[in-house]
Amino acid sequence: MTSIEGKTIQAPVTKVMSSNPGWQVLRYLIAATLLVAAVSKSYMLSTTPTMGDGILDNRLFQIALVNFELALSVWLIAGLMPRFSWLVTIACFSVFAIVSFYKAAVLHESSCGCFGAVQVNPWITMTLDLAIIGLLIVFRPKGILFHWKAFLPAKLNGNLQLKSIGFFCLSWLLIAIPITVAILSFKPAFIELNGTVRGSGNVVILEPESWEGQIFPLFAYVRSNVDFSTGKWLIVFYEAKCDKCKKELQELEADSLSVLLLEVTGNTNNEIRHVFSTKPWFWGSLSHEKQWFIKTPTILEMNDGICVSVYAR
């Protein structure tokens, strides 16, 4: 209130926009979800190898993804540049939804891999990603007007913003460095051509492509009541919960070869066995002594114990 020559003039009032409470709650929930996903993947990468040739299965890509999820979760918790973090989060979960759809509709995978070893159907994660995008659109930070200028970060506001930046950097480094070191230090064992497992730990990577022209190296680790060391055989490595394995078995034509199906997790009582119980196939599994990692389904043709050819699907 200002008085000039006896006249009272009302000073303009600057309205300070309060933060959207919906956004405040949502950013913490999203941060918690990202932390759970990052920690789950970190544990899996620190204890098991990655299988597959695509970029989504690449180990360095997975490490980068873990660090990105950690960084975004800490960023959301810090509350730094909310409008810009909102935009990045929208883009992040849009990509997640596309990847989940691709894994579900194109690759027909039974798990999206978003939560490490925890099996979650990609259709479910895609639905979750879309739901989060919808919530982000509804509960967005104040000032989001869906105009490009609204996404530009505001100027640093003294010590408060600097403290937020410091919290973000320090928190991310304290979490990301030990997790990355743990992942990179993991060294799985492998099996030599003579059947000897080399390396410490219980996790063994199988590379059947290197067995061609060699004696089958897993004779000592197969649990089966059939002798497949002589004659012509098709050895099929599969997993009980692998949808791709079921599809491959439906199309399998053995001709004059005997077929032995080996469950790589050691689980012989499974759905696949019941579905194909009418087939004249033999069933078995790899032993529980080790945790075996092989791309499934993998079909190996053998003749008198010698690996003739290998087909990794």
Nearest CA to 95 among 76, 70, 68, 118?
68
3-class secondary structure per residue, 7-70 = EEECCCCCCCCCCCHHHHHHHHHHHHHHHHHHHHHHHHHHHCCCCCCCHHHCHHHHHHHHHHHH
Q: Is the dihedral of CA 274, 268, 211, 49 positive or negative?
A: positive
What is residue 31's predicted lDDT score, i.e. its pLDDT? 94
Beta strands in 196-246 (DSSP E): 197-198, 203-205, 222-223, 232-238
For the chain, residues with pLDDT lower than 70 are 1-19, 51-53, 143-162, 266-271, 313
What is residue 92's predicted lDDT score, i.e. its pLDDT? 93
φ and ψ at 229, to 5 degrees? Answer: -80, -15
269 Cβ contact partners less than 8 Å away, ≥ 6 residues apart: none
**Torsion of Cα atoms, 229 then 233 then 237 then 239, to 10°:** -110
Specify the pTM.
Answer: 0.61
Q: Which amino acid is at 232?
A: K
